Every structure is written in C-alpha cells, then in structure tokens.
Amino acid sequence: MKKLITAIACLCALCIPSHAQFSVNNPQGYVKLTDQQYNLDALVLLNGIDGNTTIDYTGSESIEWRYTIGGENFNSSQKDIIPEPDMLYSIYVDGVAKYHIYTIDYTQYLSQLNSIEVIAGENQCSQISLNIEASIPEITYLDRTNATRTLNREFTLSYDNAAWQDSSWVNITTDTTLIINSSLLIPNSSFSIPAPYKSTTFRFYGDQWAEQLNIESDTLMTDYTAVAVKCYPRGTVVEREYKNEKDRSSDPDIKGSAPLVVEFESRANPLDIIYYEWFVCNVETPNNYQRYNDTDLRYTFEKTGEYKVKLIVTSNTCEYTDSLNVKVLESYIEAPNVFTPNGDGVNDEWRVAYKSIERYQCIIQNRWGRTVFKSTDPGKGWDGTIGGRPAAEGTYYYVIVAYGTDKFPETHRKAGQQTKYKLSGDINLFR
C-alpha cells in the first residue's frame, strides 16, 4: 500500500545539545524541544510533575536559578530544582544569563476529541468538509525575551483513498496533518479536503506530543460513502492478422484501416455504485449517435471518417465526462508486380497492400487465360501454386475490383459515390 502525506509541519523533538549543561529527570516521561524556532535552550513538556521530577545543572560552576511567580522574583543556588508548571527558568553563571528553560505540565492541557462528521455540501463532487468537535486547550509559553508564544500541536486526519497512478487506480492511505494553534481552535471547526474516490473511514487523532509522552488519546472515526467520479478512458486498436493491411494500428493515436475494431476501457474509480454511458458518433453528424451502457466497449468502425467517443460516468450524485477521438483512414489499394515463392520467407506470396476496403474481388490468370487464383479477401494472397503444385515461372495477369469504406472527394467527377477501384496488370513469378 502506498502512502500519501500532506501538510506536514516542521516541528522537531530533539535532544538537548551537548554544550547545554543541564538534564531533565521525570519518571513519567518528558519531551525536550530545542529547535531554534522556540527561542529557548529547551522547552520541556512533562508528563506530570511530582517530587521525583527535577532539572539538574551538570556543570561545575556556581549558578543561580531565577524565576518569577505571581509577580515576585525568586532565586536558588542549588544545582537542581523541582520545576513548577508553566514556568520560565533562567540559569545565571557568574551573573550572566546563560540558559533559558520553560517547563509545561502537559497533563494540564490534554485534548478531548468529541465527534467527527462529514458535511457533503453543494460541491461534494470535488470537495467535502469534516466538522470536528473537540476541546483542545491552547498552550502558551515565554521565550528568552519574555515574549508569549503558542505551541503548535499536530493532529492527523487519516483515510484510505484511490488515486490514479501509472495508468491504473491504486489504493493509498492519505495522512493529512492539521496544525492546531491560537489561530485555529476547536471546538466545532471544519476542514475541507478533496472528495475521496472510494468509500472510506475517516480517522482523526493526535496530538504528537501526547504520543511522544505515551499519553493515550482519543480517535474519532466516521464512515463515508464516496460519490465523486472520475475516469480515464482508453481505446486500443485490435490488430488484425494480415500484415499487408496498411495502418492497422497507431499507438497512442486511435486510428487505422476500416473495419477498425477498437476496445474501449472506461477505467473509472472504484465506486460502490456507478453507471456508464458511451456515445459514438461521426463528427460530421454529432446528433446521430449510438449509445451503450457497458462498462467497457468493443466497437467496429465500418466507414472512413473522424469519430468522437464520449464516456459519461455517474454515481447517484456526481457525473464526469471525457472523450476520445478516432480516425478511420481513407481507402487505398496497390498491387505488386513481382514475387518469389521460393520458401525463403521473403516475398513468398503475392499480396495487395490495402486499407479501408469494404468489398474486394481478385482474379489471377496465366497467359492462356486460365484462372489460377481468386479471392474476395484482400488480406489473403497467392502463394504461387496451382492445385497444390508450384506454378511455373513467368508472367501472370491480375484483375481487381474493390470498393472502399469512403466516398470519392468533391473534386472527383463521381463525388459523393462510394470509392471504387479497378486494377489490372501483370505479375512476374520468379523462384
């Protein structure tokens, strides 16, 4: 299973740098935040505070702890202290403030997650909203300049989804990180996300500090039935076995010789309920179309022209449309005047080169007018035998009458009539 992660905040829980000469001790656990963004030597999150909780100065110098409670200043020259919650401590060495530490009893700021609800809304085919009710207390602290700051907390919205990757739908897990701070307080907040392409279960949980402190937190869950639809239709030309047919297929373009057989795949996202409508029409007559309700469609284009194949996929709520262009090529036929049926695998049969031929008749005769070969299939040729025996070397004669799947162009005297070919000539057989 692949994972997609979005909106990740750059918050770090790091160890105290080696030059900082103090340590934290708390049997219930703690997190020391030392990134420069906090403007402190350490922001310490404690899983409760009791008589066994201490911050110890490990250097050999004489020090002084300074802090303020209720507007009154305090100091201590001991190497260790039992910290108070929500307290800024400054460690002075030789009368100079060298370290600044802020302590937070995290158990006093635990979040309470109450409910999560999907709000479909008018744009539910592209966006949905999640309404989350929770009580998440704001956590503030003082930095080394006594400026008040807010500690960000990260909550995770996780759900399974379907995504189009490498020409197919794959299952993914989407984890979106939601940052809760002073500007985004719950209860009763809504978050918009792209509408999922498969039915799923939304899970909302956190935060990251509680997780690192091994404090159990709630997980909100709600099921969702997907309605958003999308498709990536594809058409593949079915190649025929006759190698003398020109332009039998052309990937990735959908074009070729008539009768052109194309297999269309809808490739829609995996919904519980989905409907398919295929419309096939010649671009010159768009109102004259054929309609099908198959998931995938196999269609034969009999006539030369340009076509549009439109696919509409719908759920009970949403609709998505895409289309493909198909080109059936103009007719063509040409006959060779020499072949060498000697079994070497090269030019062993006499075959016409053709495309988009609807009807065909070919007769080959020897110099005395005897018919040695005839066919109504342009894909089949003469192998140079008569009655199963090798024909003599020499000159033979062919007559071909064929009709194309198109019509004579406007510049032709037979404009608008079906294209007709009359070919005749000699064939030189060598072994």
Question: pLDDT at position 9, please?
Answer: 32
Q: In a 3-state reduction of DSSP, which class is residue 106? A: helix
Helix (H) or strand (E) run with residue 210 in it:
helix 208-212
Parallel, antiparallel, or unpaired for β 87-93 and 385-386? Answer: unpaired
- Highest mean pLDDT range out of 16-25, 250-259, 283-292? 283-292
Which of 356, 408, 360, 412 shows the shortest CA–CA distance to 381?
Answer: 360
104-161 per-position pLDDT tens digit: 999 999 998 999 999 988 899 999 999 998 888 899 999 999 999 999 999 999 999 9
Rg from Cα positions in the chain: 40
* Average pLDDT of span 379-399: 95
Parallel, antiparallel, or unpaired for β 96-105 and 112-119? Answer: unpaired
Dihedral sign, Cα of residue 185, residue 190, residue 194, residue 200: positive
Q: Is the peptide bond before 259 cis (omega within 30 degrees of 0)?
A: yes
Alpha-carbon distance of 419 to 406, in angstroms, equals 6
Parallel, antiparallel, or unpaired for β 255-256 and 319-328? Answer: parallel
Question: pLDDT at position 94, please?
Answer: 87
Kindly state the tokens that stand for 286: 């768009």
Indicate the range of 87-91, 245-249, 303-307 predicted with least confidence. 245-249
Kindly state the tokens that stand for 163: 């995504």
Alpha-carbon distance of 263 to 266, in angstroms, equals 10
Contact 99, 41 (CB under 8 A): yes
Alpha-carbon distance of 45 to 40, in angstroms, equals 13
Which amino acid would we find at residue 67?
A: Y
174-210 per-position pLDDT tens digit: 999 888 764 444 555 778 899 999 999 999 998 999 9
Alpha-carbon distance of 30 to 359, in angstroms, equals 86
Dihedral sign, Cα of residue 267, residue 268, residue 274, residue 276: negative
Q: Tally the C-alpha atoms within 13 A of residue 217's C-alpha that lie toward its C-beta.
A: 28
Neighbour tally for 376: CB within 10 Å:
10
Phi, psi of 377 (to 5 degrees): -125, 115
DSSP string, 235-255: EEE---S-TTBTT---SSS-E
Alpha-carbon distance of 289 to 275, in angstroms, equals 19
Alpha-carbon distance of 274 to 105, in angstroms, equals 53
Alpha-carbon distance of 147 to 141, in angstroms, equals 8
Question: pLDDT at position 4, please?
Answer: 35
Which amino acid would we find at residue 302?
A: E
265-307 per-position pLDDT tens digit: 999 999 989 999 999 999 999 999 999 999 999 999 999 999 9
Residue-range domains of the chain with CATH? 1-225 (no CATH), 234-328 (2.60.40.10), 332-429 (2.60.40)
8-state DSSP, 163: E
Indicate the range of 12-26, 166-180, 237-251, 416-430 predicted with least confidence. 12-26
